Chain A
Amino acid sequence: MSSTRQGARTGRVSRALAADRLGVPAVLSFVLAGVAPLTVAAGVIPTAYATTGLTAIPAAFLVVAVILGVFSAGFMAMARNVTNAGAFYAMIARGLGRPAGVAAALVALLSYSFLQVGLYGALGPAAAAEAAAHLNVHAAWWAWALGGWALVTVLGLARVEITGRVLGVLLSAEVCVIVAESVLGLAHPAGGHLSFATLSPAALGSAGLSTFGVLAVVAVLGFVGFEQAPVLGEEARHPRRTIPAATYTALGMIAVVYAGASWAMAAHTGTSHVAAAAAAQGPGLLFGLSGNAALAQIAPVLFVTSLFAAALSFHNCVWRYAFALGRENVLPAALGRTGGNNIPKTASLAQSATALVVIGGCALTHQNPMARLFFWGGTTGGLGIIILLAATSLAVIAFFARDPRGENTWRRLAAPAIAGFVLTGIAVLAVQHYAILLGVPPANPASWVLPGCYGVVAAAGLGWGLVLKARRPQVYATIGLGPHAITAQPATPAETQ
């Protein structure tokens, strides 16, 4: 054997691979493509105003953006040092141990599943309203929700993802609508006086710390997706610059758009009236800010497409998690296999089946789709994300405590410590006051069943991780490696010549 020698094509591979790498705009587009801003601006924010009765939602977006920015410092430092980056469970496995990684993987699956299934609770009513208004077709919300579910299922199996270009056009249109409605709404504040009260961080604790915890869970919903940038770490042209730049830009853009929209709703309606107005108008609270007839026509249609795009995006997110865990054999290997055209059919169908059961259950029990399926599903998913963020912060500290790997004190210790402390506090406060988040009396079982789900799956994950350690050490050794698990598995003796 001989090693390669100097040649005329020095660096050709590097140049070719670099040309295929992604820059900041591409990574930023990837992150924002799954954000679906109208889903949050017209769906989550009005429902949050109506359900919680709390008005400091604009301040919550700004404060949570800062918290996530601090979190991102340690998160991205660790992402540079692990494979299967972008998956919380991979980082938690490396930092806190593989059993904790399995627990985190199941929590992540549950969180993203809540987020995906919850979207049908808004898609159904929104599509039903548009169909009734423009097509004179009158059908129940669940019929439209099932129609959306069927389309997501078919597109998920066919791997016809909504192309980046279409998503980009939708994203741009949604942002334009939100900005237009917000600016025009702020131009006509209630009582002729523009109030900044809802933007003040002081308002977050106006009704006690419970307010902060509840509002933070709502705000985190708006930022879900920002954590995906490190997924493209191996594909980025200059990972140390590209990934942080895209992440912080996305956080800033999301914070400004959502804080602005929620502020405009409160300022235009009046801080003391916004909750009642949101309860009465729902998404119309945003659509009616400008008083512009054209916007009022376009915005609801974009709301439906936004919800559909978000449902498909989270569907893909859930099966990707299941696929990675199947490749590691932590979950059944069938989830890690692909069919024709590289479609992970089993993982995709498993997610679709889950959604079908939940939609059917809500329909049969006559639940309010927006308040229950959409908002409860979404906020419970958001709680799961906060738990994962807090655990990841601890994992970052533990990981770099063993080997600093050249990272500075801010990235490997101070930032994750601050973020971990705040995020843990938010999670505890939110769970303690979950009834406020759900808009139910404290004795309502949902206030402990929904957050309790995470305790159950985390315990199951911990237990399964310990079982794997004892009975399948080869699988245990590859937890967190995702698709690279196969390269770490030991070989069997050769039998062929």
Chain B
Amino acid sequence: MTLPVGGRRMPSPQLGGTGSLADDLYLLAHHERTGRPVLSPRAAGLGLAGALLGELVLADAIAICRSEVVTGASQADDALTAAVLGQVTGEDRTRPVGEWLAFLARTAPGGVAGRLEAAGYLIAVPARPWRPQRWVPVSADCAFAPVTRVKAALNPSRPADAQAVALAGLAEACGLGARLAAWLPPGSRPRMEAAAGRLDAGLREVITATHAAVGAALLAHRI
């Protein structure tokens, strides 16, 4: 079922999600009904920045070489990641993953929210004098669905999907581990913490850099 908005039919959210790593992480990082963030803004920004880089790694559009981001063989899959890739290619030199996380963290939440809105998963609530603009999930079930994908990724009896494992690793890295543990089977937390170790080097490095950046921001009183 689609919803007409200004004469134009909007896509409907699906339980399978958009298929984008950052979209799933955004939904995990916000309450499935109210859209209220469950992370500090800085941690959410770093996590989503890591997820956008992760999307580009999965698409082979970038690679991580000696802890620095370099361009890969492929193109980005959508406008948002194409914009990120354009920023990478537009720099005069390669930069460490940590610098890209800090740079992209400023705009990643807004960019990913906009992409989810265009896909019909979020609806924008205009800003008020006492609060900024926020996004509310269209479907609480679809907003909660990424939890099932994390659960599947942590099931040792099932074949592991790199994107789902990366989602689990990034969720733990930016501080969602405790929240997710409430919905996952006992013993999931250590598997979540070890998730990044099961990935190839590029994704693993993005996740560990995200984990370090969030911890460093906490110690530097920036969270």
Q: Which residues does A use to contact B, with CB under 8 Å?
A: 1-13, 16-17, 20, 30, 84, 159, 161, 231-232, 234-235, 320, 323-324, 327, 336-342, 344-345, 482-487, 489, 491-492, 494-497
Contact = CB atoms under 8 A, between A and B. Distances in A.
9 contacts: A4-B70, A10-B90, A10-B92, A20-B102, A341-B175, A342-B40, A486-B215, A496-B162, A496-B165
A4 B220 CA distance: 31
B204 A340 contact: no
A212 B206 CA distance: 53
Contacts of B211: 483, 486
B200 interface: yes
B63 interface: yes
Nearest to A33: B221
B175 to A, nearest CB: 4
B200 A342 contact: no
Candidate in A5, A6, A342, A486 with the most chain B CB atoms within 10 angstroms? A342
Interface stretch (B20-28, B93-101, B121-129): B93-101
A12 B90 contact: yes
B103 interface: yes
Contacts, number: 145
A199 B143 CA distance: 67
B216 interface: yes
Nearest to A344: B218
A301 to B, nearest CB: 27
Interface string B176-219: 01110000000000000010011111001100110111111011
B54 to A, nearest CB: 13
B38 A323 contact: no
Contacts of A2: 70-71
B161 interface: yes
B88 interface: yes
Given A13-B87, A16-B106, A4 B94 contact: yes
B73 interface: yes
Contacts of B162: 496-497
A16 B90 CA distance: 14
A1 B72 contact: yes
B219 to A, nearest CB: 6
B43 interface: yes
A5 B65 contact: no
Contacts of A30: 221
A470 B214 CA distance: 30
A12 B91 contact: yes
Interface size class of B (residues with CB under 8 A): 35 or more
Contacts of B179: 339-340
B222 interface: yes
A274 B200 CA distance: 70
B199 A12 contact: no
B15 interface: no
B197 A231 contact: no
Given A337-B177, A340-B178, A234 B220 contact: yes
Contacts of A497: 162
Interface string B156-176: 000011100100000000010
B214 A342 contact: yes
- The 9 A-B pairs at the shortest CB distance, nearest first, are namely A483-B215, A7-B90, A9-B90, A492-B197, A339-B178, A10-B92, A342-B175, A496-B160, A338-B175
Contacts of B43: 342
B222 A235 contact: yes
B65 A342 contact: no
Nearest to B37: A341
Contacts of B93: 4
Nearest to A333: B193
B39 interface: yes
B167 to A, nearest CB: 12
B3 interface: no
B204 to A, nearest CB: 6
B223 interface: yes
A319 to B, nearest CB: 10
A496 B156 CA distance: 12
Contacts of B155: none
B70 A483 contact: no
Nearest to B200: A494
A496 B161 contact: yes
Contacts of A320: 218-219
Nearest to A19: B106
B148 interface: no
Given A2-B71, A496-B161, A17 B218 contact: no
Contacts of B198: 492, 494-496
Contacts of B103: 13, 16-17
Contacts of A1: 63, 65, 70-73
B89 interface: yes
Contacts of B102: 17, 20
Contacts of B73: 1
A320 B220 CA distance: 9
